[in-house]
Each structure stands twice: as structure tokens, then as C-alpha cells.
């Protein structure tokens, strides 16, 4: 009896720590089991990790999947052109239709305006002009609809590309830099494609045209919109020559700042109402 | 008051980086590779006088004579840039400067030895002493002497 009691005591002394650890382990296992099998508690633990991953994937999505998506779309478009056309046709068609309708409305408004003018003094002037020049009246009305207009003028020193003066109806980019780039483009074209005696005189882009008039020590770049016609060109040439003779020659002899002011004033005087003059 | 400054020198010596460091503008970046010139503008103050610098950053060529004359003509000042780490960019320096002086007589020229950050003081000194010219060292990377170079040239242009 005493022996058995002694043995139990000894076992208790020797294994007491192990039992404690066993109990703790069992408790931990129970907690883990609870966490894994309880949706709410599992969500609590995993949610922040998933959220981080979501943000990470969102940020790196273009980098990780961009090339594959692009390649896949390109392949899809190549392989199913008919289907793509079928899908895009109504959208593009609607866009074109909307654009044409819009442009037709504008044209219609302008024709209405011209028709209103037909019985006015303006209309009579067109009739008399058409009669004198032998141009059909409808051609004159149409040319009125797409009348050329001066948008900007730059007077630029030929060698340096420095802006001597400018005139614009709207706020443009930095004019000094535009003058420099125009000079560079002009020099590039003349060096690359023409001989020393030939000079760039026109740049066309969409509805705009840059007409360049070259003089000895400077050139004038006139940006116009609308349809350029011979009459407008003649008038522009004459005005520019007159401007060059009267203003620029006089300005050349003054101080730099005085000359720039004189050119700016001259440009305003000559071209402010250029489009309205008859 | 507007003044035209041209930046010339071999390809890859850091001209564009110098301008970027000075102007922080990217107005006509695309044109540099298209037509060989990029124009930027910066206003500087010289002894109370406001001066607009129109900086023509001209695409690099091994010989200055290959650069379209029209880009260089009418310049009020020149920044000639070479790369301290590439001898081929300064071996013909005197010849290049003579060409510019002939094309633009009386126009002040500032010679800049760029990429100073790539060499030791000793190496830089050795190269510069061999060139026997008044040369300023710059680093477009650190910005060292960039602003000063433009201001020094502007003062020389105004003198």
C-alpha cells in the first residue's frame, strides 16, 4: 500500500510538468479547432490577409495581366473580325451619324443666315460682285460659308527665329517658342528637301493653313482657317507687303522694345478687321 | 528682352539634361528627335534686368559643321557641352570652337565639361589641363554649376 502510494507520488513528481504541457496543448488544439470550424472566427483571422492581397492585386493588375489581356484581345479581334465589326458598327455608325447631323445642322444654319442676307444690302453686294466677276451667285454664297479667317500672325526674325511681333484673336501657346519652332521646321524642310533658293511657303493641317511670306531679314507666318481662295490670298499678299514696307522697315531702325511695340500695333491696325473688310 | 542661346556638342553629352535641370520644361521634347532641335524658354534676372532666354537644344553631331546652320544663326550666346568621361567628345574641341567662332563672330561661348560626377577631382583636373581653355565643370545629374553656367553666359551676352 505504502509502496503503491509512493509510486504514484513519484509518477506525479516526474510527469507533473508533462501533464501540464499536455493540457495546454489540448487547450490550444481545441482553440484552433474552434477557430477553423467557426466561420466567424476564421473570417476574422483571414479577412485582413485577403484584403491586403486584394489591394496588392489591384495595384499590380496592369503589370501582371496587362500583356496577356492585350494579347488575348488582339488575338480575339484578329480571329473574329466580323463579330467585332458587328459589335462596333452600330456604335461607330451612331457616332458618324451624330457628327454628320451636327455638321448638317451647322451648314443649314449658315445657309439660313445667307438666305436672310439675300435681300439685305449684304445680299445685293454678293449679287453685284457675282455679276461683275462672272462668278455664279451660288458659288459666292458657298465660298462665304467657308470663309477664310486669320487666326494668328507671327513676324519672325529670319536668322535667329526670334519673335518680332505677333497678333492673335485667342490666347495661344508661348509665342516665342512657337516662333522658334516654326523657324526650326522651316529651316529643316528647306535644308532637307529644297535647294538654298527655295523656301517653305505653306504648311497645311486639317482646316488650318500656315502661309509663310519670306522677306530679306524676317518672315511672316499667317495662320488661317477656312477655305483659302485666290481673292483672300491676293488681299493677304497686298496687306503683308504694305505692312512690311510701312511698319517693319520703320521698326527696324528703332530700339528693340520700341520696334516690338510698333510691330504689335501695326499688326493690330492692319489685321484686326482684315476678315471683315471688303 | 529676348536672347537666343544654343546648346551644342556631341551626341549624348547631356545637353538636354542640362536644359531640363535649368528649365524644368518639356514643351517640345518630341521635336528633338524629329527635326533635331528642342526649344525651351526661361526668364532670368541679370542685375535687375529681366531677360528671356530662348534655349535651342540642338541634336548632337560629331562635327559642328553637320548641324544645320540655320539653327545656329542669330544666336546671342553658345553653350558648348562635352562629356568628361568620353574623350571622343572633347578631342576635337578646339576645331569645333573655331567653327562656331567663324559662324557666330563675337558671340560669347561658354564651354562646359559635363558629367563631373562620374570622375574624380584628380581625373577632371588632368583632362582640363590638357585642353588649355577656360572650361567650367557641370553635372546635370546633381545640378552643380548648371544655373550658374546659364547666368554667366547671359551676363556675357548683355555685356
Cβ atoms within 10 Å of A146's Cβ, excluding its own: 15
* Cα separation, B86 vs B92, whole angstroms: 12
In DSSP terms, A212 is beta-bridged to A221
For range A151-157, the mean pLDDT: 91
Instruction: Mark yes or no for CB contact B74/A188 under 8 Å.
Output: no
Position A253 scores a pLDDT of 62
Q: Comparing A9-23, A51-65, A72-86, A156-170, which segment has the lowest mean pLDDT?
A: A72-86
Share of chain A above pLDDT 90, in %: 6
Task: Write the pLDDT tens digit of every residue in A133-146.
Answer: 777 776 766 666 67
Provide the strand spans (E) within B1-154.
2-8, 37-46, 49-58, 77-83, 109-114, 135-137
The residue of chain B nearest to residue A258, with distances taken between CA atoms, is B1
Q: Comparing A226-240, B27-41, B76-90, which segment has the lowest mean pLDDT?
A: B27-41
- How many residue pairs from chains A and B have C-beta atoms closer than 8 A? 59
Among B113, B110, B111, which Cα is nearest to B137's? Answer: B113
Instruction: Residues B2-158: name the CATH superfamily.
Output: P-loop containing nucleotide triphosphate hydrolases (3.40.50.300)
Position A11 scores a pLDDT of 83
Under a CB-based contact definition with an 8 Å cutoff, are residues B46 and B149 in contact?
no
For range A119-130, the mean pLDDT: 75
Position B114 scores a pLDDT of 93
Position B21 scores a pLDDT of 83
Residues 6+ apart with CB under 8 A from B47: B155
Residues 6+ apart with CB under 8 A from A182: A154, A156, A161, A210, A221
Give the mean pLDDT of chain B: 87
Position A142 scores a pLDDT of 67
Q: Comparing A101-110, A136-145, A212-221, A230-239, which segment has the lowest mean pLDDT?
A: A136-145
Position B12 scores a pLDDT of 86
Position B118 scores a pLDDT of 92
Q: Is the pLDDT of residue A8 over 90?
A: no
Position A13 scores a pLDDT of 83
Position A159 scores a pLDDT of 82
Going from N- to C-terminal start, the domains of chain B cover 2-158
Among B85, B76, B65, B157, which Cα is nearest to B126's? Answer: B85
How many angstroms separate the CA of residue A177 from the nearest CA in chain B?
Answer: 6
Does A180 contact chain B (CB < 8 Å)?
Answer: yes
Instruction: Mark yes or no for CB contact A187/B70 under 8 Å.
Output: yes
CA distance to A60, A152, A186, A204, B126, per residue, from A180 (Å): 43, 15, 10, 18, 39
Residues 6+ apart with CB under 8 A from B60: B8, B9, B10, B11, B12, B13, B15
Task: Write the pLDDT tens digit of every residue in A35-92.
Answer: 788 878 788 888 888 888 888 888 888 888 888 888 888 888 778 877 777 777 777 7
Does B57 contact chain A (CB < 8 Å)?
Answer: no
Under a CB-based contact definition with an 8 Å cutoff, are residues B22 and B153 in contact?
no
- For B52, which of A176, A181, A188 is closest by C-beta distance? A176
Provide the strand spans (E) within chain B.
2-8, 37-46, 49-58, 77-83, 109-114, 135-137
Selected residue with higher pLDDT from A252 and B17: B17
Q: Is the pLDDT of residue B28 over 60?
A: no
Inter-axis angle of helices B146-158 and B15-23, nearest 10: 90
Phi–psi pair at A21, nearest 5 degrees: -65, -40
Instruction: Mark yes or no for CB contact B35/A188 under 8 Å.
Output: yes
Q: How large is the ipTM?
A: 0.80
Q: Comparing A65-79, A104-118, B111-125, which segment has the lowest mean pLDDT?
A: A104-118
Instruction: Mark yes or no for CB contact B27/A174 under 8 Å.
Output: yes
Does A188 contact chain B (CB < 8 Å)?
Answer: yes
CA distance to A11, A105, A145, A173, B95, per residue, from A206 (Å): 101, 21, 17, 19, 46
Position B94 scores a pLDDT of 93
Task: Write the pLDDT tens digit of every residue in B9-20.
Answer: 998 898 888 888
Position B8 scores a pLDDT of 92
Task: Write the pLDDT tens digit of every residue in A210-222.
Answer: 999 988 888 999 9
Residue A226: which pLDDT band, with cuts at 50, 70 and 90?
Answer: confident
Does A187 contact chain B (CB < 8 Å)?
Answer: yes
Amino acid at each position: 500500500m505504502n509502496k503503491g502510494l509512493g509510486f504514484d507520488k513519484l509518477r506525479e513528481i516526474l510527469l507533473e510538468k508533462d501533464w501540464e504541457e499536455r493540457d495546454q496543448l489540448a487547450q490550444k488544439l481545441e482553440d484552433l479547432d474552434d477557430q477553423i470550424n467557426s466561420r466567424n472566427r476564421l473570417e476574422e483571422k483571414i479577412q485582413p490577409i485577403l484584403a491586403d492581397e486584394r489591394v496588392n492585386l489591384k495595384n499590380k493588375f496592369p503589370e501582371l495581366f496587362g500583356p496577356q489581356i492585350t494579347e488575348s484581345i488582339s488575338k480575339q479581334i484578329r480571329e473574329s473580325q466580323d463579330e467585332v465589326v458587328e459589335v462596333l458598327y452600330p456604335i461607330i455608325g451612331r457616332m458618324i451619324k451624330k457628327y454628320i447631323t451636327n455638321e448638317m445642322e451647322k451648314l443649314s444654319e449658315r445657309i439660313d443666315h445667307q438666305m436672310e442676307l439675300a435681300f439685305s444690302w449684304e445680299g445685293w453686294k454678293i449679287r453685284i460682285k457675282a455679276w461683275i466677276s462672272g462668278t455664279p451667285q451660288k458659288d459666292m454664297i458657298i465660298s462665304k460659308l467657308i470663309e477664310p479667317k486669320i487666326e494668328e500672325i507671327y513676324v519672325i526674325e529670319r536668322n535667329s527665329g526670334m519673335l518680332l511681333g505677333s497678333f492673335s484673336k485667342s490666347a495661344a501657346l508661348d509665342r516665342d517658342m512657337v516662333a522658334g519652332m516654326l523657324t526650326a521646321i522651316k529651316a529643316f524642310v528647306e535644308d532637307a528637301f529644297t535647294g538654298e533658293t527655295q523656301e517653305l511657303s505653306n504648311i497645311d493641317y486639317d482646316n488650318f493653313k500656315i502661309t509663310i511670306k519670306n522677306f530679306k531679314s524676317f518672315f511672316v507666318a499667317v495662320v488661317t482657317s477656312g477655305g483659302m481662295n485666290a481673292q483672300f490670298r491676293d488681299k493677304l499678299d497686298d496687306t503683308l507687303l504694305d505692312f512690311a514696307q510701312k511698319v517693319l522697315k520703320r521698326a527696324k531702325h528703332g530700339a528693340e522694345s520700341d520696334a516690338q511695340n510698333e510691330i504689335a500695333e501695326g499688326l493690330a491696325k492692319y489685321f484686326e478687321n482684315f476678315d471683315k473688310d471688303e | 528682352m529676348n536672347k537666343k542661346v544654343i546648346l551644342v556638342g556631341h551626341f549624348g553629352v547631356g545637353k538636354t539634361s542640362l536644359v531640363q535641370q535649368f528649365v524644368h520644361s518639356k514643351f517640345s521634347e518630341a521635336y528633338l528627335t524629329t527635326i533635331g532641335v528642342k526649344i525651351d524658354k526661361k526668364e532670368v534676372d541679370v542685375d535687375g534686368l529681366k531677360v528671356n532666354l530662348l534655349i535651342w537644344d540642338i541634336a548632337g553631331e560629331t562635327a559642328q559643321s553637320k548641324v544645320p546652320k540655320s539653327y545656329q544663326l542669330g544666336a546671342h550666346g553658345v553653350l558648348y557641352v562635352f562629356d568628361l568621361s568620353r574623350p571622343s567628345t572633347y578631342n576635337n574641341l578646339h576645331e569645333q570652337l573655331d567653327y562656331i567662332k567663324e559662324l557666330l563672330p563675337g558671340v560669347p561661348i561658354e564651354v562646359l565639361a559635363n558629367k563631373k560626377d562620374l570622375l574624380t577631382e584628380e581625373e577632371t583636373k588632368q583632362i582640363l589641363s590638357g585642353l588649355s581653355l577656360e572650361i567650367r565643370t557641370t553635372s546635370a545629374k546633381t545640378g552643380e554649376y548648371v544655373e550658374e553656367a546659364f547666368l554667366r553666359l547671359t551676363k556675357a551676352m548683355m555685356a
